[in-house]
Amino acid sequence: MEVGKRIRQLREMRGVTVNKLANMAGLSQSFLREIELGNKVPTVETLSYFCDALEISLSEFFSEDTPAINPILKTSIMKLNTQQQIRLAEFLNCLYP
Give me the domains of the chain, ranges plus CATH numbers: 1-66 (1.10.260.40), 68-97 (no CATH)
Question: Does the global pTM surpass 0.75?
Answer: no
pLDDT at 53: 93
pLDDT one-digit tens code per residue, 19-73: 999 999 999 999 999 999 999 999 999 999 999 998 888 888 888 665 556 666 7
C-alpha distances (whole Å) from 52 to each of 24, 49, 57 are 9, 5, 7
Which of 48, 66, 45, 64 lies closest to 56 in space, CA to CA? 48
DSSP 3-state assignment of 15?
coil
pLDDT at 69: 63
The burial class, CB within 10 Å (0-12 / 13-18 / 19+), for 67 is exposed
| Integer Cα distance of 1 and 96 in angstroms | 25
Angle 2-63-73 from CA coordinates, rounded to 5°: 120
